[in-house]
Chains A and B, each alone.
Chain A
């Protein structure tokens, strides 16, 4: 185990780990479920298109949903059987909304497609990335970000460290611990894939120091593989397994919310993700199963290898939930959520199911007013001021919550954990974030409509102006022509001009062109007047256009400080839009409100660098 300088992150809490219960028994294979319901949207990004129809026979490992775009990952049939349904089904999401699923009735044979090993080293990196995408490899720490999209180093910054996350800081969860204990060699091979793609200077495997067996197994596997990865024990402190926290602890780098970790020369993957990457390339097995810790209020807590799509209630039954069990928490107790529908399927983000009981998780004490004690600020690993954000979120002053950096919040739950007033702070922050997302969407729609309207108005004005100008021009041209004609006539006829002349003073005043024929249908004066009128109209139109442009708004006449504030807010918006665009997480995982298929990263040692 490497002796290296470790760094600290601020804040953090030490909840009882409750891990010992589920590590006594080795990993077991969960029996074939009666039905598997595979949600198509199991990663951040595009929702895969279904490739099967009701009635189709599918084989284990067959692709049933094709990645939609680059930030997306394929999904596969977890076992062989018949497609019974392609449609809406209960989702593993706190909203309780339904999601598009492929429901398969297993035939009991569990027959594989033809699996093909790949010598990835012989392939160009681009092809390896495509393979990972098509094998459905996503971040299994909980964030389920498509892994292939994280294997590209920044163009300008050299890759320095590849951080492998085996911290598993959430209480109760032990699936990564058991994976490292029992399958370290394959985890190491998977890490090598990411290393080969990213070419970092060093590879650091961070494991919390409450898992010495896992660390020892990993160190041994690294040695056996002849790799130079460093296995590093990090202090047990929740949330040390958050990607940003682990990167901080191992490298000293703080990846801000508006940057990708690769822009700072570092990338982070979960150990389970590395394992599935190896299974995908080295064995031709797509991600159709994962390790799930069954624990909490159960008779026999244990880790199981579980097919994706297994109904949660059916799975939890294996561990023998006690009679007073009244719910299932998916993920850990700090970031997980109570599953609204017990038959919701296990997804790639499901690292743990905790049988909930009132005895194990007593009902929360009533919420008291905030006494500004600052315990939350001291516990926040992102050095936020949660009580200030709470204050503004409660007042629905969402602009202020953004000023206090609400989007830097990773919802780790440390603030709620320590709050003596029992304020569900994270819940307020989720609320504020989803409200802001909803408003951004509304604003975008309104901005679009406004732009379209303004464009139409502008076009109408322009056409009117052009028409007026055209008219004026025509009138002027005609007048000039008439005048020229009259002049020509006068010049050529001589005397007759004099004949006509006496009539002229009658019609025209002094100062007028002496040649001006009074009887002309459009006299030069009239033409001039028409031109003048047209010019006035055009000027009025321009003035009107100008006026609409500079219509007084409440943002006019601001003090420099207010202008600065507005500029700041715009800058923050721009930053948020940038984040939303590049990272896709915020845009795609608003809790509850939309996209039920993208579980909002409920787990601990998540590959949350995307967040």
Chain B
């Protein structure tokens, strides 16, 4: 009998199971995505998944790690899906491939693989691609006007030339442009009602709550993220309703929900202590708002997450909880 030590009883759990639950929690959002924006995202998910698994396998082989064990852990697939879901659904296939390769090879394996990456791989992919290919990363299917399913696939695989008129900026981008042009806006924001992104965001919220219920994540990060972003957005909106969008728009727009429940909650690159999670996520929420409102990019989640990733060691070190019996000492 092999040498082993207690405990001999172990909970029925694994990294694979954790990752599978994360993937499962993304499904409602994906379904809404397909229904409201089109099936192009399915092609993106497939491209990203295959690329991620191939890159993961190649890197594991290079690093002389057990292939079956790590390939099956599901972490690469989670990264792949997050890349696909944050990229425009009509991005050319090679853009998604580049993003995923960057995430898996450079952001993950060059730092030591599973559990070792200091930065969120999917956000690295996003940041690299939006800096390198800003135009392609900003082309979203026109709000309200569906790009026909076939057309989405054509675009992804480069079968037909991309027509600028058929895409538009994201609502966030559109709002920013409008505000910059000093057009102002009044009344409820036109993008919210019936807006596809808001519905998808609500589906992500549902998936995220499932993760909290399953204890895959704790409440701290989503609450602090959305709370901080909502608070800042609310204060500015109350101060100048014509100059700033309302907090609901911000929380349901862009990548806020996906970021709060699926991206900032990446345990490897995020803070881990309860207080640390609150600080980390509040930082992400605030920075994301500042970047998306005052910065030059359509959304700020990726940069906000990466900046806060840098602060994680400091945050964790300074927020160590008091241990049993030492609370009043």
Contacts and interface: CB of A to CB of B under 8 A. Distances in A.
Same complex for A and B? Answer: yes
Interface of A: 9-10, 13, 15-16, 94, 171, 244, 248, 254-257, 259, 326-327, 329, 331, 333-338, 356, 361, 363-366, 368-375, 377-378, 381-385, 387-388, 404-405, 408, 411, 413, 416-422, 424, 426-427, 430, 602
A255 B325 CA distance: 5
B73 interface: yes
B321 A334 contact: no
Question: Counting chain B CB atoms within 10 Å of each CB, which of A327, A371, A427 scores highest?
Answer: A371
Contacts of B160: none
Contact of A363 (B2, B316, B327): B2
Interface stretch (B151-159, B234-242, B266-274): B266-274
Given A256-B325, A335-B6, A335-B7, A420 B17 contact: yes
Nearest to A340: B3
A369 B324 contact: no
B110 interface: no
B69 interface: yes
Contacts of B267: 371-374
Question: Counting chain B CB atoms within 10 Å of each CB, which of A373, A417, A419 scores highest?
Answer: A373
A413 B6 contact: yes
Given A333-B8, A364-B10, A427-B5, A420 B15 contact: yes
Contacts of A255: 325
A385 B329 contact: no
Contact of B10 (A373, A404, A416): A416
B285 to A, nearest CB: 20
B167 interface: no
Interface string B107-148: 000000111100000000000000000000000000000000
Nearest to A15: B9
Given A244-B325, A382-B323, A368 B2 contact: no
Contacts of A411: 6
B324 A381 contact: yes
A403 to B, nearest CB: 9
Interface in B204-229: 215-216, 218
B180 interface: no
A333 B73 contact: no
B320 interface: yes
Given A257-B325, A368-B114, A374-B267, A418 B15 contact: no
Contact of A256 (B5, B270, B326): B326
A15 B6 contact: no
A382 B6 contact: no
Contact of A424 (B5, B11, B66, B322): B5
A366 B268 contact: no
A377 B8 contact: no
A369 B66 CA distance: 12
29 contacts: A10-B324, A13-B11, A94-B5, A248-B324, A254-B325, A256-B326, A334-B8, A335-B7, A338-B1, A363-B2, A364-B4, A368-B69, A368-B70, A368-B73, A370-B115, A371-B15, A372-B115, A372-B268, A372-B270, A382-B325, A387-B272, A404-B320, A405-B326, A417-B7, A417-B10, A419-B10, A420-B18, A422-B10, A427-B5
Contacts of A94: 5
B159 to A, nearest CB: 40
Contacts of A421: 14-15, 115
Given A256-B329, A369-B113, A374-B267, 17 more contacts: A254-B327, A259-B325, A329-B8, A334-B7, A334-B9, A336-B8, A338-B1, A338-B3, A356-B1, A371-B115, A378-B218, A383-B323, A384-B323, A417-B10, A420-B15, A421-B15, A422-B10
A602 B6 contact: yes
B13 interface: yes
Contacts of A373: 18, 216, 267
B320 to A, nearest CB: 7
* A-B pairs with lowest CB-CB distance, top 3: A256-B325, A413-B7, A369-B115
Question: Counting chain A CB atoms within 10 Å of each CB, which of B5, B13, B113, B320 scores highest?
Answer: B5
Contacts of A378: 215, 218
Contacts of A416: 6-7, 10
A171 B273 CA distance: 30
Given A366-B66, A369-B115, A374-B272, A337 B6 contact: yes
Contacts of B11: 13, 15, 417-418
Contacts of A387: 272
A385 B321 contact: yes
B50 to A, nearest CB: 23
Contacts of A372: 115, 267-268, 270, 272
